[in-house]
Amino acid sequence: MKKIVIVGGGASGMMAAIAAAKENPAAQIRILERKDLPGKKILSTGNGRCNFTNQVMNANCFFSDTPNGIEEVLQQFGTTETLDVFSDLGILPKDRNGYYYPRSDQASSIVSVLRTRLQQAGVEVETNVYVTGLKKTKKGFLIFTDGKKYEADAVILACGGKAAPALGSDGSGYDLAKSMGHHMVPVVPALVQLKVDRFALKAAVGVRTDAEVSFYEDGTYIAKDRGEVQITAYGLSGIPIFQISRCAAKALYYHKNAVVHLDLIPQMDQKELCGFLTKRMEQRQMLTMSKFLIGIFNQKLIPCILRYAGIREQTKVSELSKTSFSALLHACKNMEFVITDTNGFEQAQVCAGGIRFDEVSHDTMESLCCKNLYLAGELLDVDGICGGDIDEDGAGGVGEGWRDVGRGSMCLVFLVFVWCK
């Protein structure tokens, strides 16, 4: 009887086991999971609701140092295929503006149907098992754990990256893959909050405001995103910050300057804003500047903006100089922040980096370095843009597998082709 061992019982591990069981109904399939139950990280995805796929799924939603093959994988298993899989598992999907959730709005529903299918397929799940080593033998593989050894004809590494280590992914899977001849792209936190030096908006903690976020590396424009930015005690959070955070993390890893520019009125260009403020000033000459900006910005933001522009709150509109007016425009459209760090892997939804994507087959995810070894999930150097749900602190749900991708948390988690034939 063929023996297949999956290291890791998260989303990608469970789906890999289900796929392997379908292709190999006579095989003995075993999941070795470090935590006490499989699928625990799924419970936090989509802020507890699990956004499992999206209408928009294309290569532009993903990042990798070796991106060739992403589109090929998506063509084999995209939105339609994902919806079909979950329908077969028993999930009735709900479409929220192009993001698909279980109609129950409970991530636990996803976990439950996956665990049920594992049982139906006869997959053995061993929990509280920590895999410490992997060895290729003439017959297959030896898997070493903190308790005993396992033999296998094929091994699937689906043990996650380094994000959210409390939920089981501590980066040990990278060492297992490297021991089989694989190479890594440096791993940094992604979909994560940013820390700011001398934070000019610190007094506005808790405020959420629509803004366009632009990221610059050593003075060169790299990326931008627009949406609701959240002000924290240490810096910036919110979906647009998450979207550019991988760029900041990589820049900092390579000791480059990381700078974020905030446009606090993205619906107007510089000329339009200048005209709007000029007309507004003509009608409100006797107001103080702090009152003049009420109705445009959250009131906790106003003192911060004026301080950044070097304008006293009690300055009358009629007293504002041309230089100060220009400084106000700059503060509204191009507030600059030096990024000193990201929050750590503990707060990161996912990782950027991992095992090189060009070292696996894009048809089966089989290793090109070691026959009958397969890699799936966050272990690989593919990460994607953020989904639509993050919590009050901007910490968000943590996706596993192919991570919080395709503008949604769980999408490519399930895009795992493991035909262990």
Q: Is the pLDDT of residue 194 over 80?
A: yes
Mean per-residue pLDDT, 201-219:
97
Q: What pLDDT, on the 0 to 100 scale, is given for residue 52?
A: 87
CA proximity to 51, closest of 397, 415, 416, 417: 397
Amino acid identity for residue 43 in this structure:
L
CATH of 3-188+351-414, one of 3.50.50.60, 3.60.10.10, 3.40.50.970, 3.20.19.10: 3.50.50.60
Write down the domain spans for the chain. Answer: 3-188+351-414, 193-342
CB count in 10 Å sphere of residue 298 = 16
Closest CA to 59 of 44, 74, 76, 38: 74
Bridge partners of 99, per DSSP, are: 54, 96
- Whether the predicted pLDDT of 415 surpasses 60: no
HSE-CB for 74 with a 13 A CA cutoff: 22
- Do 317 and 285 touch, CB atoms closer than 8 A? yes
Architecture field, domain 193-342: Orthogonal Bundle (1.10)
pLDDT band at 389; cut points 50, 70, 90:
low
pTM to 2 decimals? 0.88
CA distance 408 to 83: 14
Percent of the chain with pLDDT over 70: 92
Domain 193-342 in the same topology as domain 3-188+351-414: no
Per-residue pLDDT tens over the stretch 60-103: 889 999 999 999 888 888 889 999 999 999 999 999 988 899 99
- Which two tokens mark 171? 């980066």
pLDDT in tens, 293-348: 999 999 999 999 999 999 999 999 999 999 999 999 999 999 999 999 999 999 99
Q: Which two tokens stand for residue 124?
A: 């053995």
d(CA 176, CA 174): 5
Alpha-carbon distances, residue 198 vs 47, 233, 255 (angstroms): 31, 11, 19
